[in-house]
Amino acid sequence: MSPVSPAQSPVDAGLLPLTAEEGPSGLAVGGVPLTDLAGRYGTPLFVYDEEHLRSRCREAVAAFGPDNVAYASKAFLCTAMARLAAEEGLLLDVASGGELRVALHAGVAPERIVLHGNNKSEGELRTALTVGLRHVVVDSFDELDRIERLVAGEGLPPARVRLRVAPGVAAGAHEAIRTGGHDSKFGFGLADGAAAAAVRRAAASPAVRFEGVHAHVGSQVLDPAELADGAAAVARFAVESGASRLTVGGGLGVAYVAGRSAPSFAVWAERVRAAVRGAGWQGEFGVEPGRSITARAGLTLYRVGTVKRIAGVRTYVSVDGGMSDNLRPALYGARYEAFLPRCPGAARPLRARLVGKHCESGDVVIDDAALPADLRIGDLLATPVTGAYGYAMASNYNKLPRPAVVFVRDGAARVVVRRETEEDLFRLDADGPADAFAEDLAAVPAASPAGTAAASPAVRHRAAV
Ligand SMILES: Cc1ncc(COP(=O)(O)O)c(C=O)c1O
């Protein structure tokens, strides 16, 4: 057998969900073959290994201690995910009224939810104070003003508060996800004295109970030293300011492609613990992992639709989703891998640009994908490690309905978010009632030239714009 070069080798098992296993019908996750899931639920499809999600939650709690881990729900949130995280003993970090609504709907107790955001509305703060969230991570003096107005004007109970600090340590894989530097929209700066002033103001305000400080330095951080540096800076400030609670944010990275590796929760905990102790902080501390809980638990299934070979240039392989279900490559230049679930162990000597179906040349899923040589139209293709910031950032660009999300476990699958339909695309459209689509189709005579069918008001309206 000829040796397979690393660039052509089969997909690395370290990129797959924990229960991934090859069987007679190809790769199965949670005991269900991926080809069956695509047949049953269609594509594109997000598939999450429930056992993997749960085991990541448990590992995090084991590393940091009970009540010290808040799942950063921005990475992936739906009712089932909020429930799963809560069942596994995690708090929930929400960053908007919408995320808060989902968490409450899922039955997560308000005292297990924390609220973030650099521009919280009065409505979001009112809900937080009314339902009694665990704490609010306050980001600005304007937010303190708003809380004071709500408490004084509406008689709401004082807010339990942690102040978000920009410690001057920025980490992370891309400028857009580095948050802890001085030049940041988030938090009170340490360097310019804003953080110290915020502590004085919060401690003196009857509208807040100042509990502690918080920092989140960035996301997709693979070097634990960077997370430890950020934690040390904020811990030092916590000690100086007499805070009784400390949160050091999320940010632990994951391996998206072979050859990269990410620290475990245990290593993250050990390094941060040493750093905060070194800074004089003797108490417990909280963390907010998002990506590191969900990314590798999830993968996306697509159907291959076209293969275009441009002699001397490259091959394009198009799938039935793209930047509307995975924005990260376009947004951050993020890299992924792909494989065919029917033959996960196959070598991947074919180099191709894997693209979506959107009207943008930048709609690239993988710039230089390694794929099996016998890839053909109609093949099911999977991109692993898409469980974080994929569905969460999904859109209806080009009016593509958003994919379904399924959780798989012990040989069974359950839909946790249903696929959008084309009718859903009219949901918010003032001139497009839910049944407009069927009416429009009925009104268009077969083979009539575009724009000439005027029987339905909706069609007339569209022709006019
Ligand atoms: C305040 C805060 N905490 C936690 C997170 C989660 O980060 P990650 O998904 O990298 O763990 C973020 C991400 O932006 C954040 O802003």
Q: In 3-state terms, what secondary structure has residue 307?
A: strand
What is the per-residue pLDDT for 130? 97
CATH of the domain at 319: 2.40.37.10
pLDDT digits (tens, 9 = 90+) for 342-386: 999 999 999 999 999 999 999 999 999 999 999 999 999 999 999
What is the per-residue pLDDT for 49? 99
Please indicate, yes or no, whether residues 257 and 324 belong to a single structural domain of this protein: no
Given a contact cutoff of 8 angstroms between Cβ atoms, the answer to whether 113 and 160 are in contact is: no
Ligand 1: which of 216, 227, 254, 331 to mutate, most ligand atoms within 8 Å of CB? Answer: 216
What is the per-residue pLDDT for 460? 34
pLDDT digits (tens, 9 = 90+) for 132-179: 999 999 999 999 999 999 999 999 999 999 999 998 876 666 666 666
Query: Does 313 reside within a domain?
Result: yes
Phi, psi (rounded to 5 degrees) for 287: -130, 165
Please indicate, yes or no, whether residues 234 and 324 belong to a single structural domain of this protein: no
d(CA 42, CA 420): 12
Please indicate, yes or no, whether residues 265 and 349 belong to a single structural domain of this protein: no
Please indicate, yes or no, whether residues 360 and 282 belong to a single structural domain of this protein: no
Mark whether 359 is an active-site residue. yes
Instruction: Tell the burial category of 133 from Cβ atoms under 10 Å away from its Cβ (0-12, 13-18, 19+).
Output: buried
Q: Is the CB of 70 under 6 A from ligand 1?
A: no
Domain that holds residue 428: 423-464
Domain boundary among 256, 288, 320: 288
pLDDT: is 436 or 63 the higher one? 63
Residue 6 has pLDDT above 90, yes or no: no
Please indicate, yes or no, whether residues 377 and 444 belong to a single structural domain of this protein: no
What is the per-residue pLDDT for 233? 94
d(CA 114, CA 418): 27
pLDDT digits (tens, 9 = 90+) for 271-299: 999 999 999 999 999 999 999 999 999 99
Query: Does 354 reside within a domain?
Result: yes
Least confident of 53-67, 167-181, 189-203: 167-181
As a whole-number percent, the residues of the chain with pLDDT over 90 amount to 86
Q: How far is the CA of 174 from the centre of ligand 1 (A)?
A: 14
What is the per-residue pLDDT for 452? 37
The separation between the first and the last C-alpha atoms of the chain, rounded to the nearest angstrom, is 62
Given a contact cutoff of 8 angstroms between Cβ atoms, the answer to whether 385 and 256 are in contact is: yes
Given a contact cutoff of 8 angstroms between Cβ atoms, the answer to whether 235 and 275 are in contact is: yes
What is the per-residue pLDDT for 359? 97
Mean pLDDT of the chain: 92
Q: Is the CB of 17 under 6 A from ligand 1?
A: no
Query: Does 39 reside within a domain?
Result: yes
pLDDT digits (tens, 9 = 90+) for 400-454: 999 999 999 999 999 999 999 999 999 899 887 556 556 666 666 654 444 333 3
Q: Tell me which of 57, 78, 343, 359 is the catalytic residue.
A: 359
Please indicate, yes or no, whether residues 337 and 267 belong to a single structural domain of this protein: no
Please indicate, yes or no, whether residues 183 and 277 belong to a single structural domain of this protein: yes
What is the per-residue pLDDT for 433? 58
As a whole-number percent, the residues of the chain with pLDDT over 70 amount to 89
Whether the model pTM is above 0.85 = yes
Return all residues near 180 (Cβ < 8 A) that are at least 6 apart.
166, 167, 168, 169, 170, 171, 186, 187, 215, 216, 217, 218, 230, 249
Please indicate, yes or no, whether residues 410 and 427 belong to a single structural domain of this protein: no
Query: Does 338 reside within a domain?
Result: yes
What is the per-residue pLDDT for 461? 34
Band (8; pLDDT cuts 50, 70, 90): confident
Band (183; pLDDT cuts 50, 70, 90): confident
Mean local confidence (pLDDT), 326-353: 97
Query: Does 132 reside within a domain?
Result: yes
Ligand 1: which of 93, 288, 294, 331 to mutate, most ligand atoms within 8 Å of CB? Answer: 288
Closest C-alpha to ligand 1, atom 5? 250
d(CA 23, CA 44): 22
Please count the other Cβ atoms lying within 10 Å of the Cβ belonging to residue 307: 16
CATH of the domain at 191: 3.20.20.10
d(CA 228, CA 276): 8
Please indicate, yes or no, whether residues 262 and 137 belong to a single structural domain of this protein: yes
Distances (CA, A) of 377 to 189, 206, 302: 54, 66, 12
Mean local confidence (pLDDT), 335-345: 98
Q: Is the CB of 353 under 6 A from ligand 1?
A: no
What is the per-residue pLDDT for 24? 95
Domain boundary among 260, 288, 316: 288
Query: Does 78 reside within a domain?
Result: no
- Assigned token pair, 112: 């297990």
pLDDT: is 78 or 458 the higher one? 78
Q: How far is the CA of 399 from the centre of ligand 1 (A)?
A: 29
Q: How far is the CA of 130 from the centre of ligand 1 (A)?
A: 25
Closest by CA position to 48, among listed 421, 247, 299, 359: 299
Q: How many domains does the chain have?
A: 3
Please indicate, yes or no, whether residues 238 and 379 belong to a single structural domain of this protein: no
